[in-house]
Amino acid sequence: MAQQSSVPTSSDPPPFDPTEPSTPIAFPIKTLEDLESRAYFKSFHYPFNRSTVALQPVPLPDRRRMLVCHDMAGGYKDDKWVQGGTNPDAYAIWHWYLIDVFVYFSHDLVTLPPPCWTNTAHRHGVKVLGTFILEGGGEAARDTLLSTNESAQMYAERLTELAIALGFDGWLMNMEISMNSQQIPYLKEFVSHLTQSMHSKLPGSLVIWYDSVTVDGKLDWQDQLNEKNKPFFDICDGIYVNYGWKEETPKNSAAAAGERKYDVYMGIDVFGRGTYGGGEWNTNVALDVLRKEDVSAAIFAPGWVYEHKQETDFQTAQNKWWNLVKKSWGIVQSYPKQLPFYSNFDQGHGYHVSIDGEQISDAKWNNLSSQGFQPMLEVTDASTSHSIQAYLNFKEAYNGGGSIALEGSLERNGYTEIRLFQGELVLDELPLKFMYSSKTNGDSQLGLSLEFLSSTNKRKLLLAPSTKKKFSNDFSEVIETTPLELPGLSPDWFVQAGSIQMNGYKLTNINILCYRSSHENDEPSHKSGLVDKNNAPDGNSSSEYFAMLGNITLRSHEEPDLPPYNSWLIEGQYIKWTPSPEGTRTLDIKIVWKLKDSRSHTVYEHYNIYVIKVGEKGENRLGELHNVAEYLGVTHVEAFYVSNLAVPSSTSGLKFMIQVCGVDGSSQRLEDSPFLYLDVEGSRGPPFYANLWRWFESVLKTVFWFFFLG
């Protein structure tokens, strides 16, 4: 695989000490000594690097598959910041419905996937692998690893331990280094023991061998599965074939694999280095051959679209490139599959953060862990020139950093359908409850079109506001939604709710329906949409359409109660105050929390972290207490590290609030959220203030209700 290089400069930072508190990052293991000693588990950063989104432990489907290997400039770039970075244009993948397996790759000895990749891939049903690599310069490590059966087994068990602890699904084995014949039996033991160990600890896990060193110890890429590399294929879960294959090679490799032909992943380098078809915008040429021969594909370095200068912006180029993959290969993942199902369409980066339509931060950010289920935005019909464009809008959001914008031209009696999700959700006797948020201009309207399938019947239902009999001829049933008034909801956004009962049916498609409000006796006619951000619509005043979809929630029960603030144990650790000449100071602190009930195994989707800086006496303390909550960030584990927080000299205390958020999109009210109160070092604030905090809040609430609401 392509080698990256870096040249140290005089401005390089001091050596990284993983045992010292600092802003949490993801990082690889560079030596066998650190792997053997379990040094990673002793690092300050380890607890932050555990993924929290679980994946069902099932085998890969019995069909050709898509593996994507991410390699970008040595790895650990914007994605290394576990709690999120500051680059709103950071690289991301959002076409997960085209992928079965994701590999995080670098040229370090042990590449551990940053948890943001594992979280978002698992959310979309994709397995995640780390990489173990030995290449030029790794002779000493090779000789240590392959010295005995015992050493091979021990290092295999260390790799298994890491994958299980951090929550990813296996390993790509990249042994790009020559060996002597005496080491080959130990290499086989290493691969075999790792495969067996992973399978025993995590059913459905994978160990995949890269086509490099042969069974006689030569570093000789075969570009196919044959007798020189098949002994390794036979003791693991698959082979990643090098990129230099010819048109007839996939057929020969499939024949060599026999019943395991889907475990042969033929490599395609998107940078085009010796790859069939040339990669880049011709990646689909190689995919067409692999689809014809019915073997699996391994796409290497799709970040080429990001790293290579394109004629358009990255969003447009990324969608165009992956659409070539979709056209050639087809969709391999479907969702929703289970309840609750929630998406805010967030791509994991943006220019601000919103909750319930209100912007809570104007800071630029990136964090793939926050990426929601990604929509397909696929037209259902393209038979007319009338267009509605659907694209991710980063200017306004309902929850998170983006929303779906829908704009274009639409006749008053027409409507457009755009596929949002392709699902396989089997329904039972419980009602299926829908909620979605939208924002529209003028007479533009937005609803959800739902397609269902049973063993004997197909049905298509519409959920939309104020539809009356407008669409009765086009849908099996039309359900008028109910507007909800939610606490804290922005007046610019509307939330609609509806309920259906489809026992025995499978929900196969969720579509956006764009239409215009009109008189009840108007007859709508179907107009297709073009899902493309290019070529802005003409904006004919009589047919101009604009709407935004902020989020969507499906569940079978009412919104769950989140545990109250007194259900949690919260602690501050590694507290460090740093004074400045101006009389202010900064704070570093690790905040950890857990439920008091140790029997609870509930996993919450994420936690929003806020701070209120409480003024000293005479500083209008109660006014500040109730009006200034500063958003600090988000975490997906029960810990958050606050770094370099500026604390004004007039501050007596800091109230850190942990807003608990559920997988169904629900979030706790800030006033009900668990918190940690910290007296500012050297302040004049009364030490008993923290104990009276809830009392002040309850008194103010009582006074408000008595005098203003009677």
Maximal CA-CA distance, the chain:
88
Contact 514, 415 (CB under 8 A): yes
Write the secondary structure of 229-273 as one string of H (helix), E (strand) and C (coil). Answer: CHHHHCCCCEEEECCCCCCCHHHHHHHHHHHHHHHEEEEEECCCC
- Per-residue confidence (pLDDT) for residue 468, from 0 to 100: 59
Provide the residue ranges of all domains of the chain, joining segments of one domain with +: 32-329, 341-517+543-555, 565-685
Asked whether residue 395 carries a pLDDT value surpassing 70, the answer given is yes
At residue 703 the predicted structure's pLDDT band, cuts being 50, 70 and 90, is: very low
User: Taking 90 as the threshold, does the pLDDT of residue 696 lie above it?
Assistant: no
- Residue 588: which of 574, 607, 599 has the closest Cα? 574
- Is residue 535 over pLDDT 80? no
Q: Identify the three-state secondary structure at position 494.
A: strand
Question: What pLDDT is stored for residue 15 in this prediction?
Answer: 83
Q: What is the pLDDT of residue 11?
A: 55
| pLDDT tens digit sequence for 196-231 | 999 999 999 999 999 999 999 999 999 999 999 999
Beta strands 403-409 and 358-361: pairing type? unpaired
pLDDT in tens, 354-374: 999 999 999 999 999 999 999
CATH T-level fold of 341-517+543-555: Jelly Rolls (2.60.120)
Confidence of residue 525 (pLDDT cuts 50, 70, 90): low
pLDDT value of position 526: 55
List, for residues 449-475, the tens digit of each pLDDT value. Answer: 999 999 999 999 999 997 656 787 889
Please report how many Cα atoms fall inside a 13 Å half-sphere around the Cα of residue 595, on the Cβ side.
Answer: 12
Distance CA 15, CA 10 (A): 13
For residue range 263-289, what is the model confidence (pLDDT) as tens digits? 999 999 999 999 999 999 999 999 999
pLDDT in tens, 595-649: 998 777 777 999 999 999 998 654 444 444 445 899 999 999 999 999 999 999 8
What pLDDT shows up at residue 538?
Answer: 42
Mean pLDDT of 569-589: 92
Residues 411, 541 contacting (CB under 8 angstroms)? no
Average confidence (pLDDT) over 187-193: 98
7 pLDDT band, cuts 50/70/90, is very low
Residue 241 corresponds to which amino acid?
V
565-685: what CATH class?
mainly beta
Find, among 509, 528, 392, the residue nearest to 462 by Cα.
509
Q: What is the pLDDT of residue 530?
A: 42
Cα–Cα distances (Å) from 681 to 141, 295, 577, 649, in that order, read: 49, 64, 7, 10
The string of pLDDT tens digits covering residues 33-61 is 999 999 999 999 999 999 999 998 999 99
- What pLDDT does 663 receive? 93
- pLDDT tens for residues 648-684? 988 999 999 999 999 999 999 999 999 999 999 765 4
Percent pLDDT > 90 in the chain is 78
At 110-144, the pLDDT tens digits run: 999 999 999 999 999 999 999 999 999 999 999 99
CB atoms within 10 A of CB 426: 14
Residue 269: CB partners within 8 Å, gap ≥ 6?
A: 2, 243, 275, 279, 300, 301
Distance CA 551, CA 402 (A): 10
Instruction: For 546-569, write each residue's pLDDT tens digit.
Output: 999 999 999 998 777 889 899 999
Establish whether domains 32-329 and 341-517+543-555 are of one fold: no
Quote the CA–CA distance of 34 and 674 in Å, as a whole number. 38
Pick the CATH number of 32-329 from 3.30.420.40, 3.20.20.80, 1.10.600.10, 1.20.210.10: 3.20.20.80
pLDDT > 70? residue 536: no
pLDDT digits 0-9 by tens, 158-176 = 999 999 999 999 999 999 9
